[in-house]
Structure 1
Amino acid sequence: MQKIERYILLLIAFAPMCLKAQQSRIEVIKQKYRPLYHFSPAKGWIGDPDGLVFNNGLYHLFWWGHATSPDLVHWQEQPRPMKGDDGRFSYFSGSVAVDNSNTSGFGKKSMVAVFTRHFPGDTLPETQVLSISNDSGKTFHYYQNNPVLDIKKIFFRDPQVFFYQPDKRWKMVVTRPDIQQICIYESPDLKNWSYCSSFSGLGAKNSFWECPDLFQLPVEGRNTKKWVMIIGRGPNKVQYFVGDFDGRQFIPAARTVDYLKNGKGIDGIVFDDFETGVEKRWKYDGAAFRVSKKLDVSDYLGNGFAGSAVKSSSTGKMISQTFTIKHSAINFLLAGGNHQQSICISLVIGKKVYRTATGDNTKVLKWNGWDVRELIGKRARLEIIDSNPDTSNAYIAVDHIIFSNKLMNHQLEHAQWLDYGPDYYATRTWRNYDAGKNMGDSVFSLGWMGNWQYAGKVPTTWGKGFESLPRLLTLRQTNSGYQIIQQPVPQLAQLRGPERRATVNVTGSQKLDSFKPTKNSYEIAAVFTPSVKANFGMSLLTGEGRKLLLSYDPVTSILTLDRTNCTDFVADTAFTRLFAGKITAPVALKNGKLHLHIFVDRASVEVFANEGEMILSAATFPSEEQLGILLFSNGGPTNVSLKAWELKTIWEQ
């Protein structure tokens, strides 16, 4: 047969598949807000990533739907796999174990889904149950002898199971979310579980703890690994802890404990931590701060804080010693009633109040702070005030006042956060059941790009929710202990179109003429070198009177993502109140430069700062005409060197 004839026959044979792929691509592109290179299901709900395993050369993603990928980039959605239940319960989050040694007796290389069985109404205990697959995850059949773990608690969920080689037993981390506790169990066969230990009492100790994971990470520059526990703190954050695991107990590292419990290693100078000798450093006016030392608040550091009583009509204030302002920021942990001037902490110079802050009507201390750059050199004092005689939510708690050149006004608890953005939750890591064949020592993670405050209100008609970009994780030693460094997986580079480069000195605002994307599916790697005190950044998704503003202030080391006016979705007031706003995160310049690696994908942006030291992930929902990109620098010029690529859709394959 002639070569041309064989080619024609091949075209005829593959034409239906090519046509199907093209139709699929067109269908996705037509769906407004549908991500082009983040995974999303064709329809229905997607939330927590479950059952992340690498097996037989494929990466599996479950959400009790199912998708597979050869490279963590291109995904093929599979039929929904769960079979055999009686329909009375919901499949809550969990994991998948590949039983290569047939410890369970379900069959060699069986895939065993371990997940939470949840009944409607939160009236019956949540239990851990199994479903078994003997066809590489295509179908899972409900185990007849479920549940395999039942502690008779209403809230008991999200098991992550893995095989621990040193003692050849399966381990499970599972959460009691309402009491912020992670329990560790072990089993020889995935069916019979015994209690080992629990972990609690560090980091953000409020709201539900969900979706735990426990795994090893390599330490950069050292031939060693440490164990990491990650925990979702509802409704939209993930915190982590670094330490050791002996097969039964997770023990956080001493520096991790010291940082999280006592604040050691925070950037700046501690003005007061309210541990001892407070009466010698502060004057008291009135009785409000003398009534009770048993204020019911959480997430303060050490053993002490300044607080007024919750149920008391007493009023008064605490007045600090006078000090000279030498730093650009004053940070503090703050909780209490939102009563503006009557219950607050204030910065006073002479007889004038220059700054004030009040609580958010919770009993959880969170970082707040003031930019005081223009007050440097002034003599000042702090006043902690409770002048409200009301006994309803009328109190204040303050801890760890820090003078620093890094502003910490992000209003989050003192914790190690995996992502500072508003839409990143329920992170899990892939388990390598093809050890040594592909992943090696690499650890890849995935999170849900959602937020339980408004997840049900997002303006998508094709489905609800999508996953983050897969990330490559490592550990780095810092002054405050070990820090997780996250990078987008390098496999994403295969989606790049032609590279565009630019090096410009920016003063004021100017369009990025060298890169004009035709759709909001692109990647930018930029290095900003500012002059002293120049505030700089980028306006993304610009058009139709809207934009997503990404700005950096080198004086206070703050990166800000402003999405107050980025979406074309005409939302109800509740959605707008929760969605619109500014998100800030502290990140210092590196050798006078800020490195930003930015991924824009129709309805989202993920920003990796300084090669993965800090991440901001956010949903955006712009119109398809918001394609403009602007550079700006105010207060002086900024040199910008960047590379940019349009990214192909993963649905082309």
Structure 2
Amino acid sequence: MKKHKSILAAFMLAALTSCIAQKNSNSPISDNSTAARPVLHFTPEKNWINDPNGMFFYQGEYHLFYQYNPYGEKWGHMSWGHAVSKDLITWEHLPIALEEEDKVMIFSGSAVVDHQNTSGFGTGNVPPIVAIYTAYDAKSGFQSQSIAYSNDKGRTFTKYDQNPVIDLKKADFRDPKVFWYQADQKWIMTVSLSQEKKVQFYSSKDLKKWDLMSEFGPAGVTAGIWECPDLFQLDYNNESVWVLGVNLGTHSIAGGSGLQYFLGDFDGKSFKVNKSLTKEPLNFIEYGKDFYAAVVWNGTPKETKERKWLGWMNNWEYADKVPYYGWRGSMSVPRTLSLEKKDGFFYLKQEPVKEIDNYKKKSIVKSEATIEQANKLLSSFTKSDSLSFSTVFTVNPSTIHDFLRFNIKSKGSSIINFSYNKNTNELILERRKSDKYVNSKQFPTIQKIKLDHSDKEFQVRIIVDKYSMEVFTHDGKYVFTNLFFAPNSVLNVSFETSKQDQKLVFKSVGLDTYL
């Protein structure tokens, strides 16, 4: 993980400022950080975070490492923070796993459970955990790949004394994702040459000596930089497809950072795109602005059927400008990722993990509900600190004259809204500018998806959690993840229609609250 050139200089300046200056550079927007903290989303105890790293599942625990600044609320001094969870929602914060030393930052990477002790790092009968990460040397400006190991289930790590394990003497060579390839009994590393818009594939028998096998790219979106690649297999019925995810530092579909993916075949050496698998020439996993650096957990149950993952809920266009609550940055809702097929073409499907349901405080479902009845369900949400809920509703285009909109307003003006427009047959997400809280010209956004006319009806699920809104629709094919900010504001949350649609009746509308 590293910033694209237009903002790199500013972030590197932040990295080189003193720790004390960073600590005192800003004051929290709210003294009551507990009230502002999301219920369903991971946040650090304090300071800055970005990319999720080193995600693996072992003995009932999900491990989440993440890019972390131990000393301040802006990017710099990058290290690996660490947390574990039994259910992906409630997290136990652990001490920093890998910390910057001697001006060598710990950039993004992955971690694996070395069940066969191929590395030789293990002691006794407990398999070692091996972290594979990019070491950024601020003195030389080079990025190389290094490893560290743990013999206490990831609680503490020892850096390998013969690091780096791969060193190309390049300034933009980063974000290794490693997994065990059972067919050839070897480890596979996927890593980016970010400025060259390429992904390299390496193999190893012991996680120490790596051999280059092949390269992929440039392909798809090639403006900006490529980061945080991920290669994994998914099955659909009796068909197996390999997925290569590539995160884009800029020029994603909603603007700024995002994630494109390719579907194809992997033979243990190289990845080949199979264009017949997908309908669209370019494939994006996310249509909102705030979902980045997503990679899957290694070692989860049923992982060829579905994967679990999350992304950093932010965008490099304004990441250092979002409000500081004592921490800056959060992760998306954890999601299941699976392969779906429609009209002979595959796409990736995202859904919130089912564990979220265990955190419901109240659940209501109404059938044949009018707009007025639906809005009564939402009437209690009048403050940003009260926003932690999920609503599910069914849209039938044939019953709508003009539009149906879900809107969050402050002082009569929309902050963020999601709508279906019957006249243009589009899904539209609109987020208004927020100069008071995010002083960035890139923060306002209008995101649109043009639908075909085959949808007789479709379901929408919207999760709102303090300062984020995630929209899942069309069986998880279209997802919009966006931040919004209105701290301490009086809010109005409601459905809206045109005058002609005032008598619109929902087939069903549901509400789950988490506070």
TM range (shorter): 0.7 to 0.9
Query: Do 1:510 and 1:630's aligned partners in 2 also have CA atoms closer than 8 Å?
Result: no
**Which residue matches 1:344?**
none
Deviation, 1:449, is 0.5
Query: Do 1:419 and 1:617's aligned partners in 2 also have CA atoms closer than 8 Å?
Result: yes
Alpha-carbon separation, structure 2, partners of 1:218 and 1:36 = 32
**Which residue matches 2:184?**
167
**Which residue matches 2:275?**
254
Change (3 A) 1:455 1:129: same
Deviation, 1:419, is 0.3
Change (3 A) 1:455 1:505: same
**Which residue matches 1:77?**
93
**Which residue matches 1:639?**
505
SS in 1 for 2:358: helix
**Which residue matches 1:129?**
146
**Which residue matches 1:420?**
287
**Which residue matches 2:24?**
none
Residues 223-262 of structure 1: pairs in structure 2 closer than 5 A = 223-235=238-250, 236-256=257-277
Kindly provide the CA deviation profile for residues 87-128 of structure 1, in whole angstroms up to 9, marking residues without a partner as x.
31111100001111110010151111100011238x532100
Alpha-carbon separation, structure 1, partners of 2:264 and 2:217 = 14
Deviation, 1:532, is 6.1
Deviation, 1:74, is 1.3
TM-score by length of 2: 0.83
Aligned-residue CA RMSD (Å): 2.4
Residues 87-486 of structure 1: pairs in structure 2 closer than 5 A = 87-107=102-122, 108-120=126-138, 123-219=140-236, 222-235=237-250, 236-256=257-277, 265=279, 415-432=282-299, 441-479=305-343, 481-486=345-350
Deviation, 1:477, is 2.5
Kindly provide the CA deviation profile for residues 427-465 of structure 1, in whole angstroms up to 9, marking residues without a partner as x.
1001117x57xx684311111101001000111231111
Change (3 A) 1:186 1:517: farther
Change (3 A) 1:615 1:588: farther
**Which residue matches 1:563?**
431
Change (3 A) 1:187 1:440: closer
**Which residue matches 2:37?**
34
Deviation, 1:239, is 0.6
Query: Do 1:531 and 1:636's aligned partners in 2 also have CA atoms closer than 8 Å?
Result: no
Amino acid at match of 2:114: D
Deviation, 1:603, is 0.8
Identical columns (%): 32
Query: Do 1:529 and 1:592's aligned partners in 2 also have CA atoms closer than 8 Å?
Result: yes
Kindly provide the CA deviation profile for residues 556-603 of structure 1, in whole angstroms up to 9, marking residues without a partner as x.
3321111115x5x6147xx34111232222345664223110100111
Change (3 A) 1:511 1:207: same
**Which residue matches 1:554?**
422
Amino acid at match of 1:251: K
Gaps of 5+ in 1: 1-26, 260-264, 267-413, 649-653
SS in 1 for 2:195: helix
Amino acid at match of 2:137: F
Deviation, 1:34, is 2.6
Alpha-carbon separation, structure 2, partners of 1:451 and 1:30 = 22
Alpha-carbon separation, structure 1, partners of 2:353 and 2:453 = 24
Deviation, 1:42, is 0.7
Deviation, 1:32, is 6.0
SS in 2 for 1:645: strand
TM-score by length of 1: 0.66
SS in 1 for 2:234: strand
SS in 2 for 1:513: helix
Change (3 A) 1:46 1:80: same
Amino acid at match of 2:39: L
Query: Do 1:587 and 1:614's aligned partners in 2 also have CA atoms closer than 8 Å?
Result: no
Query: Do 1:526 and 1:643's aligned partners in 2 also have CA atoms closer than 8 Å?
Result: yes
Amino acid at match of 2:273: P
Kindly provide the CA deviation profile for residues 138-168 of structure 1, in whole angstroms up to 9, marking residues without a partner as x.
1112111000001121110000001111111
1:58 aligns with 2:74: no
1:44 aligns with 2:47: yes
Query: Do 1:28 and 1:36's aligned partners in 2 also have CA atoms closer than 8 Å?
Result: no
Alpha-carbon separation, structure 2, partners of 1:112 and 1:478 = 39
Query: Do 1:36 and 1:601's aligned partners in 2 also have CA atoms closer than 8 Å?
Result: yes
Alpha-carbon separation, structure 1, partners of 2:513 and 2:424 = 33
Change (3 A) 1:587 1:134: farther
The alignment covers a number of residue pairs equal to 456
Query: Do 2:194 and 2:225's aligned partners in 1 also have CA atoms closer than 8 Å?
Result: yes
1:616 aligns with 2:484: no
SS in 1 for 2:376: coil
Change (3 A) 1:431 1:517: farther
Query: Do 1:602 and 1:622's aligned partners in 2 also have CA atoms closer than 8 Å?
Result: no
Alpha-carbon separation, structure 2, partners of 1:588 and 1:497 = 37
Alpha-carbon separation, structure 2, partners of 1:238 and 1:421 = 10
Change (3 A) 1:116 1:646: same
Amino acid at match of 1:558: E
Query: Do 1:522 and 1:599's aligned partners in 2 also have CA atoms closer than 8 Å?
Result: yes
Alpha-carbon separation, structure 2, partners of 1:167 and 1:204 = 32
Query: Do 1:33 and 1:460's aligned partners in 2 also have CA atoms closer than 8 Å?
Result: no
SS in 2 for 1:49: strand
Change (3 A) 1:176 1:563: same
**Which residue matches 2:388?**
521
